[in-house]
């Protein structure tokens, strides 16, 4: 039983402040746990009903386009590409999962346009997550309208030449 204020870390690394109050516990100064209503005993722990939803303390405040523009040390080439293609406004709203090549990934394409050999396909490997041959190097960059996964290579569809020539 908790008798003094304490801070605990959740499974996803977030901190939860627990303060004993009359009739139960207070979580993060918002959610009340009634310790008198009977705990739900499970084979791997105890469930304590609470009266509100626990929300992570830091919700994202920027959309995907704002994060790409702000984080120009990693995404300046991608943002420039999106701007030239007039796609930047698309990332201002909507719900997206963006696999975002970092600037080092664009270095391969500085002087030429390579012909891709395989379609984009997400696969899991022992070292982490890959999209084709691109490694996800920073996952779950939260935005107000989606999530960004930084990758170390540029993804190009297999028919980029046809797209560039206006045939598709």
**pLDDT for res 56:** 65
41 and 78 co-located in one domain: no
* Average pLDDT over every residue of 23-41: 81
Residues 113 and 157 in one domain: yes
Residue 1 located in a structural domain: no
Cβ atoms of 152 and 143 within 8 Å: the answer is: no
CATH number, domain at 102? Answer: 2.30.180.10
Q: What is the pLDDT of residue 16?
A: 86
Number of domains, the chain = 2
CA atoms within 13 A on the CB side of 99: 19
| C-alpha–C-alpha distance, residues 85 and 142, integer Å | 24
Beta-bridged to residue 31, according to DSSP, are: 27
56 DSSP β-pair partners: none
Note whether 78 and 49 are within 8 A (CB): no
Do 19 and 101 fall into the same domain? no
- DSSP H or E run through 47: strand 45-47
34 with 85, same domain?
no
Q: Give the phi and the psi of residue 30 in degrees, each rounded to 5.
A: -135, -55
Provide the domain limits for residue 41.
Answer: 6-47
The DSSP bridge partners found for residue 107 are: none
Confidence band (pLDDT; 50, 70, 90) for 77?
Answer: confident
Q: Answer yes or no: do 41 and 76 share one domain.
A: no
Tell whether the model's pLDDT for residue 36 goes beyond 80.
no
User: Above 60 in pLDDT, residue 119?
Assistant: no
Residue 100, pLDDT above cutoff 50: yes
Q: Tell me what pLDDT residue 125 has.
A: 42
pLDDT for position 3: 84
């Amino acid at each position: 039983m908790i008798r003094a204020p304490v801070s605990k870390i959740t499974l996803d690394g977030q901190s939860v402040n627990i303060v004993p109050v009359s009739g139960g516990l207070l979580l993060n100064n918002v959610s009340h746990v009634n310790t008198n209503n009977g705990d739900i005993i499970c084979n791997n722990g105890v469930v304590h009903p609470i009266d509100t939803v626990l929300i992570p303390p830091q919700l994202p405040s920027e959309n995907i386009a704002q994060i790409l523009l702000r984080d120009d040390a990693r995404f300046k080439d991608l943002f420039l590409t999106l701007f030239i293609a007039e796609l930047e406004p698309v990332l201002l709203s909507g719900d997206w999962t963006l696999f975002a090549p970092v600037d080092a990934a664009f270095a391969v394409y500085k002087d030429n346009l390579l012909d891709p050999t395989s379609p984009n396909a997400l696969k899991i490997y022992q070292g982490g997550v890959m999209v084709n041959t691109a490694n996800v190097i920073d996952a779950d960059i939260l935005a107000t309208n989606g999530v960004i996964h930084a990758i170390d290579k540029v993804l190009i569809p297999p028919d980029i030449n046809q797209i560039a020539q206006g045939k598709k």
